[in-house]
Structure 1
Amino acid sequence: MIVCPNCNHANPDGAVQCEACYTPLPVSIACPSCGTTVQADASFCGQCGYHLKSVSAPMLSTPESSLPDPLESPEPIVPEPLVQPDPILLPTQAERIPEAAAIQPPVLATQLQQSFARLLNLQTSTVVEIPPGLTVVHIGKPNDQIPPDIDVSGFPNSEIVSRIHADIRVEGETYYIEDVGSSNGTYINNSPLPMGNRHRLRPGDRISLGKGDKISFLFQT
């Protein structure tokens, strides 16, 4: 029998609701040990004490028809083949030569540049070029010992200039001047240049041959 949990009325086995109060009755099962009818939610059989929670799965299992369908394996995704771009055809070396030759500018011959120095006579504004290619340039007037490379005999007041007066020495692109024993001396920017001493010439230096600044030159490059 099944006892109603609401009014404790004893109902016959298999009843689904109480005959007295119409309360839904709990589902009952037979104890697998002694066969006594017990409620399905009971943990132990009231007759023999059997542990009902250990009942094998087939007695409590859901009918096979109610089981959900197994998940179907998705179809494998096949990647689409990569589309290869058309190869870029590069011109061969033989084809590039005419094009490169047309772009390149004509090659111009490199001209060697060489600096030149000169002396500007301040009394007459006459320009005297310092001879290129010489490492020692003699300044003076014509004589029998050392012919001057720069002859100042034609300038006014040249009588104060010694025949062997001064030398300009060239070292690379640097110019030096020294007095070589003149009678009236050599002056650089109005300062006397001791005999044997060298002075490095710079553009704008004033060179005076003799005292009184009567014959003077401006060094230029």
Structure 2
Amino acid sequence: MSAGTCPQGHLSQADDYCDVCGAPMTAAAPAAAPAAPAPAASSSATPAAAGPTAEVPCPNCSLPNLPGALFCEGCGYDFTTGALPRTAVPATVPDVNAAAPDAAVTLSAPVAPAVPLEWVAELWVDPDWYAEQDSTEPCPSPGLPVSVPLTVRSLLVGRVSRSRGIHPEIDCDGDEAVSRRQAQLTTDGTRWFVEDLASSNGTYVGPASGPLPTVPLTPGQRRELAEDDRVYVGAWTRLVVRRATPEEQVSGVV
């Protein structure tokens, strides 16, 4: 098989598409025999206009292109090397919702881990203590105690005073004989102490099995509480510090 010339001027052994650039060989015009020299024309003759140039279809997308074009205007096919155009990769649009952090999660405050409840303070109405006091207030009926979870190392015993900004953790409101700042309960983690804060009627400590105490604590001096000690304040209030029961530990997690 004789080699042919494609429209781009490449020699090709194939007769359908050029081996070099892939251009159709059918568009190539057959080689013409050398023409006889034309007779000399007169100086007044008008030169003939050049005929229209045949367009070359792109072997990739079939779009007609001008002869001599290096690349197809439609798909970018390389007529010189025959390389196909690269496939355009669409740009990835970032997901704004996915990229942006959740504001609620970012701005939320860290949650403190749960602390198991270990100690509680019970507040009782003690008729026996009331009988020993010189009080004009009627004693309320004894009932079930009020349990206060002890979740910090220092707690104020007293009564609320909004005007003075006093908000005791152990509120004895109702017993008018209890001072606003009656006493302070503190712990080192295993033991509990009580300290009178120069209250009006004093703070008393006594064992559960013994007689009612008659000597108040010295203000400003801490007294360690034994396991069966009772703290007496006001006209009828009795306070007991004890370990939380398993049921209270489950229901009293803070």
Q: Relative CO higher for 1 or 2, CA cutoff 8 Å, sep ≥ 6?
A: 2
The structure that has the greater radius of gyration is 1
Do both share a fold (TM > 0.5)?
no
Band of TM-score, shorter chain: 0.3 to 0.5
Q: TM-score, normalised by structure 1?
A: 0.42
